[in-house]
Structure 1
Amino acid sequence: MTERTVMAVPVTAVQLAPMVRDAITRLNRRVRQTRPVGDLTATQINALTSIELAGAVTPRELADVERVQPPTMTKIIAKLEERGLVQRSPHPTDGRQVILATTDAGRAMLGQFERARDEWLASRLAELRPEERDTLRRAAEILRELARA
């Protein structure tokens, strides 16, 4: 990492917002690019992650979460199901719908992606000085609080 000078110039929330948003966006993009070699697309990984986070979800709910049209989500689900990463089960109250859930293989795949991302980020964080890592630890706590609001 290059030497940085930290300026103690107060900034307003309006000035800070685009700086934080840009930094989070860039870091998120870089972390998302880090994954084991495989043939899953970023869209498929995102859908699989959303299913896992939800625990169980209908295809329509998944399309809404991922902000894609239902026919597009149908294709994504078919690919994930073909790979054995998700499974369908009958909806408990609506016989016309199904519930999607990740399989053990799907959870294992997500674990591989998570480990690859953590390893990349840990290697970058190891390049920082201890005080910089401590600053990031505190920033992570603050960002987590912001995300709850």
Structure 2
Amino acid sequence: MEAHVELRRGVVRLGRRLRQERAEGALSANKLGVLGHLRRNGPATPGAIAVAERQRPQSLTRVFAELEQDGLIERGPGAADRRQALLSLTDLGRQALDTDTGERDMWLADALDRLNETEREVLRLAGRLMDRLADAEP
């Protein structure tokens, strides 16, 4: 059980560090999730995105509104109920996602370069372990 606690603590600390060191104006985790979902799966309803991202639709309402206001997503015409409207990624949204992902990848590459060989091996083993845990049935 102690290894589980250590692993969770490490993941939380890394996530916190990534959030703290994000570039000014970088996308939030929820915005990245929505844009990434639309890129991978194409147009979808707000409810379908929320389910896929394991969120409640109302918790993403502000995210959808801000993304639409910023021109990163657009709503399909003709939906009487905003919850059933099809959302799609705009070209500006694709560009913002690419930029944010590129900056995050550079930060991670720099952090990985500072690891010694033992730390890199531990990281590789932890990655394999995380894959196995993700594939395990609850």
TM-score (normalised: structure 1):
0.70
Aligned residue pair count: 133
Q: 2-side partners of 1:46 and 1:114: how far apart?
A: 12
Pair 1:142–1:129, CA change in 2 (3 A): same
1:84 aligned counterpart, secondary structure:
coil
1:127 maps to a residue whose letter is R
* Higher relative contact order, structure no. (Cα contacts within 8 Å, ≥ 6 residues apart): 1
| Aligned equivalent of 1:23 | 10
Q: What's the TM-score once normalised by structure 2's chain length?
A: 0.74
Name the residue aligned to 1:4: none
Alignment partner for residue 91 of structure 2, among 62, 84, 104?
A: 104
Aligned pair partner of 1:62 in 28, 46, 49: 49
- Unmatched 5+ residue regions in structure 1? 1-13
Between Structure 1 and Structure 2, the one with more helix by share is 2
Q: How does 1:1-12 map to 2 (within 5 A)?
A: none
Contact 1:90 1:98 in 2 (8 A): yes
Q: Larger radius of gyration, structure 1 or 2?
A: 1
Instruction: Give the aligned partner of residue 131 of structure 2.
Output: 144
* Letter matched to residue 120 of structure 1: W
Q: CA deviation at 1:128?
A: 1.4
Q: Find the partner of 1:113 among 90, 97, 100.
A: 100
**Of residues 14, 27, 35 in structure 2, which corresponds to 1:48?**
35
For residue 39 of structure 1, report the CA deviation from its aligned partner.
6.8
- For 1:84, the equivalent position in structure 2 comes to 71
